[in-house]
Structure formats: C-alpha cells, structure tokens
Structure 1
C-alpha cells in the first residue's frame, strides 16, 4: 500500500474522530440496539434496524480511519520552506479571467475540505500549481474549457 501524505493537524483530526467513534459512538449505538431489542419482535422493529445500520456505518468508518492512520506519512508543514509550491503550501492565486482571488492550503486527500480552505494534493488545481513560484501562471482543464491562474502568494505555515 502507498503512504498517504498528511499534515500534523489532519492526522490529529482523524485520530480524534477515530477516538470518538470507538469510545463514544460505539457505546451509544450498542445501547440503542439493546433498547430496541427490549421492544420485542425484531423483524418489524424499525429502531433496531436503524441502530444496526448505524453500527455498520460506524464500524466501516472505523476500519477506514484505521487504514488511513496506519498509512499516514505525517509531514510537519511548519518545518517546510521554499519558493515553489509543494505539499503543505498555502497558496493565494487569482483567476486571470475573472480576477477572483482564492487561498488554499495543499493537503492530503483524507483531510481536504475546500470550504475550510484545504484542497487535496491530487486535485487538478493543486497538480497545476506544484513546482510553480509566485508570479507563475498555470492552466487547469475545466468542464467549460481551460482556466488560467496566477500565483500571487506562497507560504508555509
């Protein structure tokens, strides 16, 4: 299996989710199953079936988190520097057509959340930025045609 690049913050967040799911959610779901069982006939017990489904989803996510955390290649972004874009960089860029500016940090796939300002290193925008410097332009293929962007700022926090 291939290592999964991840920031220290991303690893901590996933570890916290794992801890919550194994310590709190598991116990809550088992209690819900026990309570639903007490209601009698399981074949027509919607509460029981809903709790069993929750249990299945929770256990699936726990297994997924175990795999991600086992394969994590944790990179401390605060120790990175440089003048080119690479994993962990926080990049401000402008759309050359619309003038719209955006700022994102390039992170690993499991911790990506565009609404929180984090994009995956495997996303088309991040792949287009990798290796570029401030002032460089890059193109990204989009459904409506290629888009051009210019890197305005680059930092490692």
Structure 2
C-alpha cells in the first residue's frame, strides 16, 4: 500500500472537502442506489446500459469518497497562527509584481489538494508556488515555466 502523503489544507479547504464528502455520502449515494434499483426493475441487466452506467457512477462516487476521506485523514490543517507573514508559506497570500508585464498579481499558496488557479490558489508544489516559498517582501523571484522565465518581485505577504 502506498504511503499516504500528508495533505496540507487551509481551514477553508478542509471545510470544502468535508461538505463535498457529506454531499456524496448523503445525497449522491442515495441517487445512484435509486438509479441502480430502477435499472434492475427494467429487467434483464445483462444488456441494460442504464444499469451499467449507474454501476460505473457508483464506482466513481465511492472512489471519490475514498479519496476525500483519505485527504481528511491525512490532513494537516494550517490555521492563521501557523501562517507567517514574514516569509511565504502554505496559507500565505502573496502580492507580487510581474516585472515583465508590470502588473500586480495576488496568489494564495495552498496545498495541492485545494489548488485552483482560476481562484488564484496555487499549489506549494507548482513551479510558481515552490519558487515563492520562503521568500520575503522585496525579494526577487525567477520562475522557470514552459514559456521561459517569469520574474516577480514580492510586494506583500498576508494571511
């Protein structure tokens, strides 16, 4: 069995996972079980695509539940007191200046489980997140990305 990797989560991230888990266990499981029951009622399940789809969905739901439960079990939750504003760490919000485009960007550094680039939440394991870890205000950061190198100046660190 693979060693369970510690999952670093913010309090908000943990709440999000717990509510998805709750939803899956209470609502989705019932829905899928109903679909299976209905499909069985149609009779011959050997060529019943409705039944196959429902069984597949059931497997996916169970897999997701298992995955989320594992995350919660291995979670190391970071609360505000753990978050330093001296240097960048998981849980930090970092305002940086993109030197090439002269624009300010704010990133929240989170564990990979709750990374969501569209919300500005980047993983501590991503190239940018990793490069920012440990940096302080006024530090310059160069990040190797597929398109070349991005240069940032750290402007502000907050929680």
Q: TM tier, shorter chain?
A: over 0.9
Superposition map of 1:1-157 within 5 A: 1-77=4-80, 80-156=83-159
Figure out how many residues of one structure are paired with residues of the other and give that number. 156
Q: Which shifted more, 138-147 or 31-40?
A: 138-147
**2 CA distance for matches of 1:113 and 1:22?**
24
Name the stretch that deviates more: 147-156 or 30-39. Answer: 147-156
Unmatched 5+ stretches in structure 2: none
Deviation string 1:36-65 (CA, Å, 9 cap, x unpaired) is: 111111122111111111101000001101
Taking the aligned partners of 1:6 and 1:46, their CA distance within structure 2 comes to 39
Q: Classify the secondary structure of the residue corresponding to 2:151.
A: strand
Q: Supply the RMSD in Å over aligned alpha carbons.
A: 1.3
| TM-score, scaled relative to structure 1 | 0.93
Write the distance in 2 (CA, Å) between the matches of 1:80 and 1:145: 31
| Contact persistence 2:36–2:51 (CA under 8 A) | yes
Unaligned residue ranges in structure 1 (runs of 5+): none
TM-score with structure 2 setting the length: 0.92
Q: Distance in 2 between matches of 1:72 and 1:79?
A: 15
Q: Deviations over 1:15-35 (max 9, x none)?
A: 111111111100110000000
Secondary structure of the residue aligned to 2:145 is: coil
